[in-house]
């Protein structure tokens, strides 16, 4: 009997793999959700919400968080800050 094992994680953080099943659809979900949230925030910013924080899952790597940046066409487009676990954030 031959057994084939395919690692699966939505955050694409298993070593020795180029990509893992589940990452593509999870990344698409994060990208669309970020785009929709940015449109909502922009429409309400004069009277209500001015900041939107989107938290996505991830174990040790920030691949899903970084996927949200795919929607940027110019520097001023959201997301404005993407925090990933591997890089310490210095507020200054």
For 55-88, what is each residue's pLDDT tens digit?
A: 888 767 788 888 899 888 898 888 998 888 777 7
C-alpha to C-alpha distance for 22 and 43, rounded to whole angstroms: 32
Helix (H, G, I), strand (E, B) or coil at 77: coil
pLDDT at residue 92, rounded to an integer: 80
pLDDT at residue 33, rounded to an integer: 92
Longest dimension (CA), the chain: 64
Mind listing the pLDDT tens digit for each residue in 4-48? Answer: 877 667 777 677 777 777 888 888 999 999 999 888 888 888 888
Domain residue spans of the chain = 23-71
C-alpha to C-alpha distance for 43 and 66, rounded to whole angstroms: 24
Instruction: Bin 9: left if φ > 0, else alpha if -120 < ψ < 50, else beta.
Output: beta
- This prediction has a pTM of 0.75
C-alpha to C-alpha distance for 70 and 79, rounded to whole angstroms: 9
């Amino acid at each position: 009997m031959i057994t084939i094992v395919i690692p699966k994680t939505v955050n694409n953080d298993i070593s020795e793999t180029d990509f893992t099943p589940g990452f593509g659809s999870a990344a698409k979900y994060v990208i669309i959700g970020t785009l929709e949230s940015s449109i909502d925030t922009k429409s309400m910013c004069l009277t209500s919400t001015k900041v939107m924080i989107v938290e996505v899952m991830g174990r040790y790597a920030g691949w899903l968080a970084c996927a949200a940046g795919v929607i940027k066409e110019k520097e001023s487009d959201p997301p404005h800050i993407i925090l990933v676990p591997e890089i310490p954030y210095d507020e200054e």
